[in-house]
Amino acid sequence: MPGPDHVDGADRADRADATDPGEDERPARGSLEGGQVHRALAILELLGDPESRGLGGPAGSADVPTSFGVVEIARTLGRDKSQISRLLRLLADAGFVEREAGTLRYRIGTRLFSLGVRAVSRRLRDEADALVEREAALLGERVEVCVRSGGSSMTVATAAPDSELRAIGWVGRIVPLSCTATGRALLFDLDTPAVARLIVPEGLAQAGPGAPRSLDELVARIGEDRERGLSLARHEMDRGLLAVGAPVRDAAGGVVAAVGVAGPDSRIDPVLPEVSAGVLRAAADLSRALGASLPPPATGPPRPPRQRRPPTARPVPPTRKEGVS
């Protein structure tokens, strides 16, 4: 049985490599050149998504990233160990990877996470602006894209097919997570303790008559919404308002935004299946644009714009809450 000083072959190689630079270590540290760029990108891809290289196990997260030793990385990529070690040190100097203290294993660096977050945020805003304009014309309703901001849902993009709703919806508006369709879609990935940490300090919004009044009721509705793949909020933000929302996911599969449509119940309810399908389609399109792995969209003839139906009952007087999803 190995003693406390036992070190397996991979660890011996990693530790020797950390102190004895190979032939490829001789050039001074500097910027990557030529084929090194492709090898460095392969390293980052491996550390960021080990499943793509057949290593299995969890892909890691910003809090607990997956880490690998030099030998393991070199073997997986089919490269020379000293070559991989030199690239890892260059990437570490730049902050793109980090070496764990004591283990000599490498993981994705915080700088790369920061760049990724900024890239997704910029891409999300750009793609969302185009998506809401397109979907508003196709669905004949105001469409918005929201992100989570603390215990609230914040609109980052919105468009409507007419000036009436366009004047009511605006970017930067904050609404509760608990009683809006987009808000609950933003909670799809969270368990009960996480939802409680977000919602309880903020308090459950006492808005429309259909709004959840307790944490248990909110969690139950999130579960129902999650099962159907989209959120429905009827008379929750305001009496007479019906909203539909679906989550948007990024390349890592996490919920980063939500697409929503809302309007008078009397107008939305008769065409709810069509509106729901449109919201799901829009959320999937935006998810693909952010790098999420989803099946390609079905091809077919162009969809004609839906003609908005007038409410079948006396409409709710215009308020600032109309159109909140």
pLDDT digits (tens, 9 = 90+) for 91-122: 888 888 888 877 778 887 767 766 655 655 77
Per-residue confidence (pLDDT) for residue 261, from 0 to 100: 94
Predicted confidence (pLDDT) per residue in 299-312, tens digit: 544 455 555 544 44
Extract the tokens encoding 324. Answer: 């909140």
- Reference 195, options 239, 226, 174, 227; nearest CA is 226
- Reference 61, options 50, 72, 76; nearest CA is 50
Question: pLDDT at residue 316 above 50?
Answer: no
Per-residue confidence (pLDDT) for residue 26, from 0 to 100: 40
Per-residue confidence (pLDDT) for residue 120, from 0 to 100: 55
Per-residue confidence (pLDDT) for residue 116, from 0 to 100: 57
Greater confidence, 67 or 279?
279
Q: Give the list of residues 6+ apart from residue 103 with CB closer than 8 angstroms, or none.
A: 67, 69
> Exposed (0-12), middle (13-18) or buried (19+): which is 36, by Cβ within 10 Å?
middle
Q: Can you tell me the distance from the alpha carbon of 307 to that of 104, in angstroms, rounded to the nearest whole number?
A: 62
- Reference 120, options 293, 249, 230, 282; nearest CA is 249
Question: pLDDT at residue 298 above 90?
Answer: no
Per-residue confidence (pLDDT) for residue 16, from 0 to 100: 45
Confidence of residue 205 (pLDDT cuts 50, 70, 90): low
Question: pLDDT at residue 278 above 80?
Answer: yes
Element spanning 286, H or E: helix 272-289
Exposure letters 40-71 (e unless 16+ CB within 10 A, then b): bebbbebbbbbeeeeeeeebbeeeebbbbbbb
Predicted confidence (pLDDT) per residue in 135-144, tens digit: 998 888 889 9
Greater confidence, 68 or 286?
286
Per-residue confidence (pLDDT) for residue 33, from 0 to 100: 56
Extract the tokens encoding 178. Answer: 């608990």
Question: pLDDT at residue 85 above 60?
Answer: yes
Q: Give the list of residues 6+ apart from residue 225 with CB closer than 8 angstroms, or none.
A: 184, 185, 188, 231, 232
Extract the tokens encoding 278. Answer: 């449109």
259 and 181 Cβ atoms separated by less than 8 Å: no
Q: Can you tell me the distance from the alpha carbon of 258 to that of 175, in angstroms, rounded to the nearest whole number?
A: 13
Q: Can you tell me the distance from the alpha carbon of 141 to that of 60, in angstroms, rounded to the nearest whole number?
A: 39
Q: Mean pLDDT, to the nearest integer, of 256-270?
A: 93
- Reference 304, options 279, 274, 264; nearest CA is 274
Amino acid present at 106: Y
Confidence of residue 211 (pLDDT cuts 50, 70, 90): confident
**DSSP secondary structure of 89-145:** HHHHHHTSEEEPTTT--EEE-HHHHHHHHHHHHHHHHHHHHHHHHHHHHHHSS-EEE
Predicted confidence (pLDDT) per residue in 46-78, tens digit: 887 655 444 443 444 434 446 788 888 888 888
Q: Mean pLDDT, to the nearest integer, of 235-259?
A: 91
User: Which residues are registered as beta bridge partners of 262?
Assistant: 243
Greater confidence, 164 or 285?
285
Predicted confidence (pLDDT) per residue in 26-51, tens digit: 444 445 555 788 888 888 888 876 55
Share of the chain above pLDDT 90, in %: 25
φ/ψ (deg, to 5) at 203: 90, 140
Greater confidence, 247 or 214?
247
Rg (CA), the chain: 25
Per-residue confidence (pLDDT) for residue 63, from 0 to 100: 40
Amino acid present at 42: A
Greater confidence, 239 or 10?
239
Per-residue confidence (pLDDT) for residue 311, from 0 to 100: 45
Most confident of 67-71, 221-225, 233-237: 221-225
Question: pLDDT at residue 165 above 50?
Answer: no
Torsion of CA 60, 49, 90, 94, to 10 degrees: -60
Provide the pairing of β-strand 152-159 with 174-176: antiparallel
Mean pLDDT of the chain: 75
Most confident of 13-22, 122-131, 148-157, 214-223: 214-223
